[in-house]
Every structure is written in structure tokens, then in C-alpha cells.
Structure 1
Amino acid sequence: MIGKLSVAVVGLCATWSVWAQETPADFTTQVPLSVSGNGPWYRLELPLAVQLGARQADLSDVRVFNAAGEPQAYALSRQSPQHTENRNVTEVKWFPLYAADTHETLPDVVVKSSAEGTLLEVRPSTAAKPGKQVLRGWVLDASAIKAPLQQLSLDWSHEQEGFQRFSIEASDDLQHWEAWGDGQVARLSFADERVEQHDVSLPGQPARYLRLLWQGQAAPLLTSAKLTSATRSSLPMPLVWSQPLAGSRLKAGEYSWQLPTGLNVERLRVELKQPNTLAPVTLAGRRDSQQAWQPLSNGVLYRLTQNGQDVVQDELPLPGQTVTELKLQVDERGGGLGVEAPALRVAVRATQLVFLARGEPPFTLALGNASAKAANLPLSTLIPGYNAERFNTLGQAQVAGGVTVTSPAAAAVVDTGPNWKKFGLWAVLLLGVAALGAMAYSLLRKPAAVR
């Protein structure tokens, strides 16, 4: 009889566990996934548009289910576990590049270097004609730097104010050049203050030489050129940007934006519609309307026309802390940003989700449950013997179709109705208790056997 009682109790516990297990219907957003490559582990870069469906800033309410609605073991990774960095700043030599005019595509030069690759001379390939040659750019010698280049810092003659916009190219042999994008530095005077921008971000790749070519204007006379290099044990995930967010004007020179959910914002971009806009700004944020505003960043935003081209600085870096509201205060001595609040884009660190495929596809990503508890595992637990090199060999998962979202109205209707699942669980428990009571009563009434 004791054995029968044990079986009954175990059965009740198993029933409770099955009924209480999470299903895709417990989450407001479901996203179909497709998988490719070698399993059974698959990695998915969560699109920001999908992340906005979460109800918890740390994505504790993210789940993956198989075709049978069974949850899958998973891990979240916003950056590699180790991110130590050694940074070095090196003064480098620079060599002028001359051309017939500022619109010549590439100056024709002769380069002389030592056996070690150090630059000794850069000169025009033909004799310069008096009054016809224009300083078009500079070649920087980075041959002594072996680590990836992260930042370029320039200083130039104080007589030359305004914006300096140039292209950046890299080479290891002075013959083949790879485009590294555009750079921009500036020296401005505004309201009895001087605003200077000397630093330009580089893509974090090694190179022996850099070529800077000014676009549509003569290059300034450099007085200093420094390169910051960094050796990292791992690199953080890239940033992903949101769609434009509408804001509201609180008062003159003050605007606010409500984010769809709490986000660890690391950068933002303010839309500057009008040409010749100049706005010193201060940015603050908070997690909810009951908290005081906390300062996050400050800087000068501008969109100015120079030589027929727009020169734009519309981004601000942020510390990456969780915020749901942002407020921008503008010094209107620069003309302000207008009556309407400008559109705002925010950037967060890309998040990778890795799951262990169990059961049959298709798989579904579900999120949007404010009461869900975190269920993610560390990568080292999910993948035994995990290391950073193995991450790139995992299979890939992608969003395979439309996003299904349960409307708040529909959810409210369900919440206000009878909770049949809860009633069913109580009914099973009560029936089990009644059955156990009946069996115990039967044992007590049964007469003892005659020996």
C-alpha cells in the first residue's frame, strides 16, 4: 500500500510539472527561426527590432521552443567573456603629398623606404611647377606599430580653423591601398569658446602606412600625428541601431524620448534636418519616471555646409547603462533644434543567443513576459569545452518570417477571464488528496487478519 501511495504522489508531482511548464503562448512575441550549418548548437544575432519585444532589460524573458513547444537550453552573449586591452599611443612621422590641384584623385609620387620598411622620403614623381602644386594630403609611417590601429589623433597649424575632412587609406607595401573610410577633425570658435576635435576612429586593423587625402580643399600643415594601437584578447560585439524614435518638446531647448523598453544604450544619433545647425547639448537618462535624471553625456552636434558639402556630427557616446527615458538639453545660443523634437536613433551592443537544438524543428524564439525568470546558461555550461574560436564554427539561426505579437487588449481579455489552468491544477490536487484520504480510511477500517 505504501508503494501505491508513493506512485500516486509521484504522479501528481509529474502532472503539476507538465502543466506548469512554459509554452510559447506564455510570451507576447513569437518569431519563427530557420537553422543552417552544423548543429546541434546554433547561434542567432538578435535583431534590435525583436529585442524591443522583451519586457525585461536583461532579456530574462527570452526563450527558444521546438515544434512540440518544448523549451531549449540556451545562453546569451553580448561580448566575449574576456575583453582585456593594452593601448599604446605612438608619435609617427608624416610626409606631405602634393598635387596640381585639390581635385586630383591621387598625387603621383615616388616613395623611398629603408629595408625595414621605414619611410625615408615621399616626393612628387616630376618636378613641381612653381605656384601650381597644392598640399593635398599626408602619408603616415606606422611601420613600427605591430598592433591593430584604433585611433588617429592630429594637430595642425592654429591659423587654419574650420573643418578638415579627408579620406583614410591603409597599405602594407605602399603599392596597394585599402579604403578605411573618412575622417574629420575640426577647430571652431563659438560664443567665446573654442571647440576642437582631434581624434578619428580607425577600424582596429593593423597597417604599416596610412594615406590621408583631403577632399576638395588643401590639406593643413600638420604639427603632430599620433596613432593609438590596442591589443585585445577579444572584441566586443558590434552595435545595432534602432529605427527613428519620436520625441516630445518639454520646453524651449529641452526634449525627451520614451524608449519601447529598458535598453543598455551605448550611442545615440540625433536627426539634424536643417543645414547650418550648431547645438551644444547635454544628455540625461533614467530608468523610470520616479527616478531623478542622471547625466549621461555632452557634446556639440552640428550640420554645417562647407565647400558645398554637409559636415555632420550627430552622435553622442553613452556609458551603456539601462535607461527607458532620455532628455536632451540644448544651449540655444547656437540656434537650437527647432520647435519639434528631432527623431532619435539609439544603438545597443549586439546580442548573440546560442541554443542547443533538441527535438524537431521548426524552432521559435519567444519573448515578452514580465514575470519570467532568467533561464539562460553560461556558454561554458551550454557547450562543454567551449572556447572563443569555437563560437564562429557553430551553426547559424536566422529570423525566418513575420513576428507574431499578442496585442495588449487580447492579453487583458484573457487575464480577466477564468484561469482554467489554475482551476485544473487545484482540481487535480484535490482529487489526489481525496484519493489518498479514501485509501487511508479503507486501511483503518479493514479488520486485522486472524492467525
Structure 2
Amino acid sequence: MGKLSVVAVGMCVTLSAWAQETPADFSTQVAMSVSGEGPWYRLELPLAVQLSARQADLSDVRVFNAAGEPQAYALSRQSPSHTESRDVTPVKWFPLYAADTQENLPGVVMKTTDEGTLVEIKPASVAKPGKQVLRGWVLDASAIKAPLQQLSLDWSHEQDGFQRFSIEASNDLQHWQAWGDGQVARLSFADERVEQHDVSLPGQSARYLRLVWQGQAAPLLTSAMLASATRSSLPLPLVWSQPLAGVRLTAGEYSWQLPTGLNVERLRVELKQPNTLAPVTLLGRSDARQTWQPLSKGLLYRLTQNGKDVMQDQLQLPGQTVAELKLQVDERGGGLGSEAPALRFAVRSTQLVFLARGEPPFTLALGNGAVKAANLPLSTLIPDYSTERLNALGQATLAGEVVLKPSAVAVSPPVGADWKKLGLWAVLLLGVAALGAMAYSLLRKPQGQP
């Protein structure tokens, strides 16, 4: 029976060699260059790569070396759900006054305790004659040690409308770092009240925040709260698509077909006309045979205020896989026009980490709807894996452009002979015949004959 084992092992080796994947099995190949310390390298996959894949979960992504040998790899999709703890803390606020709304931020003296708690803000010099205008607020976040994720404001009900302000952060009340702009709103529309109180922060630590209203007096605050969170790992950034054309279905209904099924997390709807106000409902589905499922609701607007556009053109999505989107617009606000607006979508960036083996150049290959996933967990690919270790890995970059295919549907094999499959079947049948002949020969031998 030893001969049978040898034959069986030989068959398995032969079949494995024939069935091994090669770059030619994939519709798209892009050369890569590597830099930094190996042998592990990480590549941030461009959105064009994800759109070229034939499988929404990127199961058909591979890496090959110069000899066409596959490389061990992992996919990293860190999401915002990796939050370890989240706290919402009410904070104190202190007013900033100036002579008029056009004046730069006034000079002030700020006093703190030994622990850093803000106790007083007063002008650095005698105020100029004239009416003093409230320009902004300083928030005391000295008691919060975790990174700041979100700011929530409430203000006097006599001051409805949009509130737009700049956000700055400091640890010493002397040096301030810009954290971007914030916008909150309280609106009434079509017998409904729309209120937006929350502003996203960059996830950094700071002891003080300074809010300065732009071109208008600041409202009287009634509440200020800061949400802080400690994360096991920060989420990868979002990557945005190019504008996608849609079609108008009926009055107030528009649809868009995505290049493939994608885990969309955010949408941006193009609002061409000023003074557009549109309550909308977004629906999606992953297949034309499925029923539409609600994904998001919101108020899109582009309004002129103090000579500037105030814009809200984005919708937040749950991140589930969708291939088709439909937007329903309440046309009591005037609608979005007779043509479907252009749409941009955003998905979470994905990093590919591979273990370089063999000689470069390395090739990224994708575009095969039939292959199964071959990626490993990061902790398996990198035995001593940690977030710090991941950030210190060598870098890989694409050395060429990814050519998008016109269809993301797997191409059916051509009608006719598939010589690779025929060869595999021939080897298999010959092996089975050989095994049968050997077994028959052994059974025919008389008892006791060697």
C-alpha cells in the first residue's frame, strides 16, 4: 500500500501546482514600489482599486512577486466602533466681547487655578466707546483628559437660524490651534422643527476651546457639552468618489447606480442652485430584485446668509452594502430640479498589509469573481501586531494607474474548451485509473506471494 500513498501524494502535488493562482487569473494588475523597513509593507488602497474589484469585500485582491508567487497579506478596515469608552461632560463657558462684529478677536486676560481650571476672562485693555458685541465663547475642558470627539451646544430660543463659528484649541491659553469650522442650526420648515446641535471634533486632546462667530454676533449659550472617547484604534479616513450621474424617476425621485456593491458611509449631493432647501429620504438596495430599504433622512440646504453660502449637502449612512440608491425629496421646499443632481459617495479607506517574499517588483492584482478570500488576520500575519507596529511598517505605493472596467460583474468564461480544467480532469482520471489498476493487481496476487 506504500505505492498507493506515493501516487496519491504525487497527484495532490500535481493538482496543487496546476491550480495555483497567477496574475493572469485577474483582470487588473498594477505594479507596486516599496520603501522603508520590511519585510511587511502596507498600502492604502485607492477607491479605484475597490471599484475594480469583482467582490464587494475585496476577496479577489492578491499580491504577487516578480516570479508570480502569491504573497501572504491582510486587510485592515478599522471602523469607529472600536471605541473603548465614551463620556459626555458639561463644561463652563466664558464670553468674549468686542466693539463690533467686524473687529478681530479682542485681547483678553484669562485666569486659571493651579489645576488649569478657567475662572475669569476680562479685557486686556479698556474697552473702546460704543456698543459691545458678543463675539464668541471660551469653553473650559481642563477636567477632560480623553481626546475630544464632539461638541454639543444649545442657545437662546430667541436666536433661531444658522450659527457658524470657527473652533480653536489650546493647552495654555496663549497658543491656539485651528480645529476647523462648526455649524449648528435651529430651523422651522413645513410645520416641522429641525435642530442641529452637534459638531464633530478631530479626536485630539485640549484643555480649552475658543469659539468665534463669523460675521455675526454670537448667541447666548444655555448649554455646552463635550463628548470624549478613548479608542483602541482610530478609524481610517473616508475616501470620496468622483461625481456620479443619476436619473430622474418621477417628480421628486432620483436614483443612482453604483459601480459595484459598496459599504457606503456618507453621501454628498450636489446643490447647484442657491437658496435650495430640501427635506429628503434616502433608500438603498444591493440588488435590483430586492425591495428598497430606508437608509437615512435629513435636510439638505444651500442658503445665502450675510453674503455667504451656508451648506449642508451630506447624509450619513449606516455603512451597509448597497449597489443602488434612491433619493425622495419633499418638493414643498422647491425640490432639486428636473435633472438628477450629481452624487459623490464615501467609503472607509482600506489598508492592505503584505509580507514580502521573493524578489520585487511586486504586483497588486484584482478582478476575479470566482476566487475565495485568501487574506489572513493582521495578528496572524504580524505575530507581535499592535497599532504602533502597524504605523511603523514600510510603505507600498502603486506605480501605475488602475484602469476601471466598464462592468463590475464577473465575466463569464468563453464558450468552448477550457484547457486548464480539461488538463486537471485528465490528470485526475489518469491517477484514479492508475490507483484502480494497482489495487486490482494487489487483490489478484495469491496469498503469501510477495
What is the TM-score of this pair, normalised by structure 1? 0.92
Indicate the residue corresponding to 1:85 in structure 2. Answer: 84
CA displacement at 1:74 relative to structure 2? 1.0
**Cα deviation digits, residues 300-346 of structure 1 (max 9, x gap):** 01011111111101111111111111111100001111111111111
Tell me, what secondary structure is at the counterpart of 2:52? Answer: coil
Q: Secondary structure at the match of 1:416?
A: coil
- Name the SS for the 2:414 alignment partner: helix
Per the TM alignment, residue 430 of structure 1 is displaced from its structure 2 partner at its CA by 4.6
CA–CA separation in structure 1 for the residues paired with 2:142 and 2:406: 59
Alignment map for 1:25-424 (pairs within 5 Å) = 25-79=24-78, 83-403=82-402, 415-424=414-423
Q: Does the C-alpha gap of structure 1 residues 18 and 383 become closer, same or farther in structure 2, counting only changes over 3 Å? A: same
Q: 1:225 to 1:405 in 2, by over 3 A?
A: closer
Deviates more, 1:173-182 or 1:193-202: 193-202
- C-alpha distance in 1 between matches for 2:428 and 2:224: 77
Q: CA deviation at 1:402?
A: 2.3
For residue 41 of structure 2, what is the amino acid of its counterpart? Y
Structure 2 segments unaligned to the other structure (5+ residues): none
Give how far 1:383 is off: 1.3
What do the CA deviations read for 1:210-249 (whole angstroms, capped 9, x no partner)? 1111111111121211111112222222211111111111
Question: Which residues of structure 1 form unaligned runs of 5+?
Answer: none
Deviations, residues 115-147 of structure 1 (Å, cap 9, x unaligned): 222112112222223434221111111111111
| Aligned mates of 2:95, 2:403 — CA distance in 1 | 59
C-alpha separation in 1, matches of 2:444 and 2:150: 88
* Structure-2 separation of matches of 1:234 and 1:98: 40
- Which TM-score applies when normalising by structure 2? 0.92
Partner SS state of residue 131, structure 1: coil
Is the CA contact 1:111–1:121 (under 8 Å) kept in the aligned structure 2?
yes
Q: Deviation of residue 279 (structure 1)? A: 0.5
**Which amino acid in the other structure matches residue 56 of structure 2?**
A
Whether the 8 Å CA contact 1:82–1:234 is kept in 2: the answer is no
Give the whole-Å Cα distance in 1 for the aligned partners of 2:280 and 2:324: 16
Name the CA distance, whole Å, in 2 between partners of 1:322 and 1:444.
58
* Count of residues paired in the alignment: 449
Q: 1:433 and 1:230 mapped to 2: Cα distance?
A: 62
Which whole-Å CA distance do the structure 2 matches of 1:400 and 1:254 have between them? 42
- How many angstroms apart in 2 are the aligned matches of 1:237 and 1:74? 18
Separation in structure 2 between the aligned mates of residue 172 and residue 237 of structure 1, nearest angstrom:
26
Instruction: For 2:260, give the aligned amino acid.
Output: T
Cα pair 1:28 1:405 within 8 Å, conserved: no
Letter in 2 for 1:175: Q
Deviation at 1:186, TM superposition (A): 1.0
Amino acid at match of 1:200: V
Percent identity between the aligned chains?
Answer: 82
Could you say what secondary structure the match of 1:415 adopts?
A: coil
Q: Counterparts of 1:446 and 1:268 in 2: how far apart (Å)?
A: 76
| Distance verdict in 2 for CA 1:231–1:278, change over 3 Å | same
In structure 1, distance between residues paired with 2:192 and 2:407: 51
Opposite residue 280 of structure 1, the aligned amino acid is P
Q: 2: CA distance between counterparts of 1:31 and 1:400?
A: 7
State the Cα distance separating 1:266 from its structure 2 match: 1.2
- Rounded to whole Å, the distance in 2 between the matches of 1:412 and 1:286 is 22
